[in-house]
């Protein structure tokens, strides 16, 4: 059973000093779940509540020709509580300042820069939730984030762009506050979140080159990129190495599991070789290097980006269009990889997955402006095992799509 409430106010005011926007809203959610159907805790239902309050203001203005600015501020308060946390609500408050600058330097060159500074504080409104103490809920993080982009038209058919960004992923309230004292795993140890969990920080940079190719009636895109994740977050798992000692008590918990770096390159060409035929082909390479606190012993945990990501992926597309009739074929090849496999419900291991190729297709016919008949096929090559999970079915779907104006 759910109860949802929401209240929102918005105000716009256009002045000589730009367009001002004011926004405020509050959302409330309360839920009551049947415990026997969810956590196998009999005798009571599982209740949860979540409240979100946001107040923000921003100003958009054009101070000079070719320049556009946006500045803003925001306050956010987010709280979560459940029957397992008693009368204690766990949450965080955020104060943020942000700004964006767009400069159209010339017909060929444009730049955009945006930044944001967040000050986040976690708290517990009530007694601390065991096994944590009051100080564990008093955390403060000051994290900047930004996006930088520049695009330059070299010759009219050649274009280059540079992108750089830093993003911050705050831990969710479930990751900060969830407490389940009677989880029937690992000797009935409590399953708990960790209010000390740090935000994940992602830094990335990418360089793109695009060229129009007349004799192919197409476009070539080339890209190289690099990315780094710091303070990766896990979720409570089933393996014994998920057990941590918090203030002298063993629990199954979530935590920051280390860092991960990656770099790669992509090449793609799309176009037409006839008014009715279109094509596309791409190749991507990705290399990852993990530095994790997990997966250093005999028992693997379900977090491993380095091995579970294929290094090479090739994609192809061929399409035909003739009036109301369209047909498309999609093919993908992936190189070999390793995946986490659940061995016995409490432990994980590594399974080798061979390279695989597969194909999907779709044909469609439009009857007038409001009706389309289509037939789609998935997994046409009949691959049943492309990973460590369940077998993949071969599927065919017929669809009638009618639009009412």
The answer as to whether 138 is a domain residue is: yes
Give the pLDDT band of residue 304 (cuts 50, 70, 90).
low
> Rounded distance, CA 28 to CA 34, Å?
20
The answer as to whether 48 is a domain residue is: yes
> Rounded distance, CA 110 to CA 102, Å?
8
pLDDT in tens, 105-143: 999 999 999 999 999 999 988 888 778 888 988 999 999
Collapsing DSSP to helix, strand or coil, 255 comes out as: coil
Helical (H) or strand (E) element with 146: strand 139-153
DSSP letter at 233? B
The answer as to whether 6 is a domain residue is: no
Which own/partner contact pairs does 94-98 have at CB distance under 8 Å and 24+ positions apart?
94/118, 94/119, 94/120, 94/170, 95/119, 97/71, 97/72, 97/73, 98/58, 98/70, 98/71, 98/72, 98/73, 98/74
Bigger pLDDT: 242 vs 203: 203
pLDDT in tens, 327-384: 999 999 999 888 777 666 555 667 788 888 999 999 999 998 899 999 999 999 876 6
Q: 249-253 and 191-192 as β-strands: parallel, antiparallel, unpaired?
A: parallel
The answer as to whether 108 is a domain residue is: yes
Residue linked to tokens 């956590």 = 39
The answer as to whether 145 is a domain residue is: yes
The answer as to whether 19 is a domain residue is: no
The answer as to whether 150 is a domain residue is: yes
Range of the domain at 328: 34-402
pTM: 0.80
The answer as to whether 134 is a domain residue is: yes
- The domain tally of the chain equals 1
- Give residue 187's pLDDT: 58
The CATH number for 283's domain is 2.40.170.20
């Amino acid at each position: 059973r759910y109860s949802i409430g929401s209240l929102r106010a918005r105000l716009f005011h256009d002045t000589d000093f730009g367009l001002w926007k004011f926004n405020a809203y509050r959302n409330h959610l309360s839920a009551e779940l049947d415990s026997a159907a969810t956590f196998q805790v009999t005798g009571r239902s599982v209740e949860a509540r979540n409240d979100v309050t946001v107040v923000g203001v921003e100003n958009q203005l054009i101070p000079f020709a070719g320049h556009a600015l946006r500045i803003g501020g925001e306050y956010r308060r987010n709280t979560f509580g459940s029957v397992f946390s008693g009368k204690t609500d766990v949450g965080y408050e955020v104060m943020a300042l942000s700004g964006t600058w767009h400069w159209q330097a010339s017909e060929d060159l444009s730049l955009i820069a945006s930044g944001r500074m967040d000050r986040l504080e976690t708290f517990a409104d009530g007694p601390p939730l065991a096994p944590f103490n009051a100080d564990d809920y008093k955390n403060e993080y000051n994290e900047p984030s930004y996006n930088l982009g520049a695009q330059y038209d070299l010759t009219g058919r050649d274009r280059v762009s540079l992108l750089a960004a830093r993003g911050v992923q705050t831990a969710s309230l479930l990751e900060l506050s969830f407490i389940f004292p009677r989880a029937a795993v690992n000797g009935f140890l409590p399953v708990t979140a960790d209010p000390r969990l740090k935000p994940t920080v992602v830094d990335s940079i990418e360089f793109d080159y695009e060229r129009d190719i007349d004799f192919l009636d197409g476009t070539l895109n080339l890209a190289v990129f690099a990315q780094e994740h710091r303070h990766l977050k896990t979720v409570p798992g089933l393996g014994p190495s998920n057990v941590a000692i918090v203030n002298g008590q063993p629990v199954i918990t979530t935590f920051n599991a280390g860092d991960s770096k990656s770099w790669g390159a992509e090449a793609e060409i799309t176009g037409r070789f006839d008014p009715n035929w279109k094509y596309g082909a791409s190749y991507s390479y990705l290399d990852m290097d993990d530095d994790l606190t997990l997966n250093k012993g005999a028992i693997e945990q379900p977090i491993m980006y380095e091995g579970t990501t294929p290094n090479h992926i090739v994609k192809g597309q061929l399409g035909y269009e003739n009036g109301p009739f369209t047909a498309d074929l999609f093919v993908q090849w992936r190189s070999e990889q390793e995946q986490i496999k659940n061995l016995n419900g409490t432990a994980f291991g590594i399974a080798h997955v061979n390279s695989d190729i597969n194909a999907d297709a779709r044909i469609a016919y439009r009857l007038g402006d409001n009706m389309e008949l289509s037939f789609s096929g998935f997994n046409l090559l009949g691959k049943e095992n492309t990973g460590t999970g369940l077998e993949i079915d071969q599927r065919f779907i017929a669809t009638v799509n009618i639009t009412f104006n």
